Each structure stands twice: as structure tokens, then as C-alpha cells.
Amino acid sequence: MNVIGKLPFVIATRLSQQIRNMSLVRSLAFVNNQWVPASSGETFEVTNPANGQVLGQVPDMDVDDTEQAVNVAFEAFKTWEHTTAKERSVLLRKWYNLLEDNKDEIARIMTAESGKPLSEAAGEVAYANGFIDWFSEEARRIPGEIVASPTQTKEMMMIRRPIGVAALITPWNFPAAMITRKAGAALAAGCTCVIKPAEDTPLTALAMADLAAKAGIPKGVINVVTCSRKKAAEVGRVLCTSPQVAGLSFTGSTNVGKLLYEQCASTVKRVSLELGGNAPYIVFESADLEAAVKGTIACKFRNCGQVGEIYVHFALDLG
């Protein structure tokens, strides 16, 4: 029992040591395609939750740093919005290819900083990369629309245009997928991004930004601002109230979502919120109880219970 109990700790320790030597592990934030420190010089530690070992340190950015990232994204949008659908599609495909080429390393980084099993991290990476795969193709298919006119002398034509800078605030439980799902759509549409990853899992976000730059995505189009929990509120407030940010996407708790929604009202932003809650597991009387128990373990304990999905068990006993 003691030996088995020690195995996860030993594996986590070994992984913590390996992480420091990985090529995609970064210790600086990513703004304007440059690796930058916080203007204050402050940093915070990223630790392995399995054993408490320090994986590295990243910049603890503040209001001024965030405003700088927003300014950079705003300037980049002036050029990026005029790229063709084909150009954006090609760049997203290159990013996807690099994400696939480096999927094993990203999975190990994710496991080390989030604590999820390596097999589950690998599954998330495949899931996350699929969003970039999808949007690389959807970038070419952003249609306009011709609407029937109420008069014979007019023709009504609708053209879809990117809104501008998108602020993306992502949670720790799916540190890769929540970035690609948001950023993939934004980039495909012609928007630029400022990403604030969870303070628990910034290394995954920085690794993905590294690969985006290597894929040739222009400077300022993707920016990653890292900050500790202590500064999260002030950084979030900048993203919500800045007139240069056109839209905000947030995945997290309902209480924080309400606060962000309120702060976005001052500039009437487009807001997309995926908020937390309780996910019921419903088992009907006719269900196979043994199968239902297995499903309960798989669903409710997955990812430390941090999976907001609703499951209904339809395993009917038709014998």
C-alpha cells in the first residue's frame, strides 16, 4: 500500500524535473510576438499540484502590462482584419500542424501544471487541436447574405466583418481546449486576441502561443498575459472596460461571470459566457445499475470532477 501510494508522487517528481528541460516551456509572457517580463519585474510560481514542486516562474502582469497587450492587439487588428479568408486558413492550418507535431510535449506540460492524468491530457490535446483544424477550414466559409428587399429599387446585402480585439479568459481545467475553441474562432473571423490563462496553468497557453508564432501568425494577433490570482481582478477589469476590446469570452464560475458581464456593460461589449454549475447524473429505473455506476465514476470523477456536463444514463435492461 505504501509503495503504491508513493508511485504517483515519484512519477510527478520525475515529470516536474523533465518539464524544465522541455523546449516549449516559457518563463515570459507573450506580447507582440515577443517574450516579455512584467513591467514591475514581479513573477509568480507555477507548481505541480501532485507534489508541490515548482515547475517555473512566469510574469505577474498588472494593469499597465494588460493595457499594452490590448494596444498591441488593437494595432495588429488594423492589418489582420484585411487578410483574406484563405490567408487566415493557411496560417491556422500551419498552427494546427505544429500543435499536432508537439502534442506529446504539450500533454506533459499540461499534466505537470494541472494534475490531470497524462492519458487524459493527451485526450484534451487531441480535442483542443481539433478546434484549430475545424476553424482552419471554416475560415474560408464565412458567407454574406442577400436578403429580399421590401422595394424594387433596393437590394439588401449583408457582409460579415470581424469585430476587433477579443479578450479570452480561460480556466485551469481545460487549459488547451478552452484557448483553441475561443482563439480559433476569433482568428478565423479576422479578430485579434488577448488571452489571460488561469494562474494555475499558464505554461500550456505559452507553449501554444510559441507554436502560433512559429506557424507565422503575425505579431500582435495572439497575445498571452499571465498574472497571479492576486492581480486577476485588475487584469480582468482592464479587458472588460477597455474601449479597444470589442468582445470578451469567459469560461469559469457564475459569480465571476456576473462581475465580468457588469464590467463589460460600460462599453457594451459582445460577451460570451460559459459559466459553472452542478451537473446532474440521472439514472432511470430501467437502467443497468452496474453500467450506471461505471458511468458515474467515469463522468463525475473525470478531471478532478471539473467537467461541467450533464449525463443521462439510458442503459436499458431489455432482457
Domains and CATH numbers, the chain: 23-140+160-277 (3.40.605.10), 279-319 (no CATH)
pLDDT higher than threshold 70 for residue 221: yes
Q: Is 274 in the active site?
A: yes
The Cα–Cα gap between 74 and 64 comes to 15
Give the residue from 6, 14, 61, 67 showing the smallest Cα distance to 37.
61
Mean pLDDT computed over every residue of the chain: 89
155, 274, 285, 290: the catalytic one is: 274
Most confident of 84-98, 137-151, 270-284: 84-98
- Return the percentage of the chain with pLDDT > 90, whole number: 69
Most confident of 6-10, 130-134, 137-141: 130-134
Q: What is the pLDDT of residue 16?
A: 62
Under the banding of pLDDT at 50, 70 and 90, the label for residue 190 is: very high
pLDDT higher than threshold 60 for residue 309: no
pLDDT higher than threshold 90 for residue 192: yes
CA torsion 28-233-304-19 (nearest 10°) is 10
Most confident of 71-80, 278-287, 291-300: 71-80
Q: What is the pLDDT of residue 86?
A: 96
Q: Which of 14-18, 88-92, 133-137, 273-277 has the lowest mean pLDDT?
A: 14-18
Q: How is 80-101 classified by DSSP, letter by letter?
A: HTTS-HHHHHHHHHHHHHHHHH
pLDDT higher than threshold 90 for residue 307: no
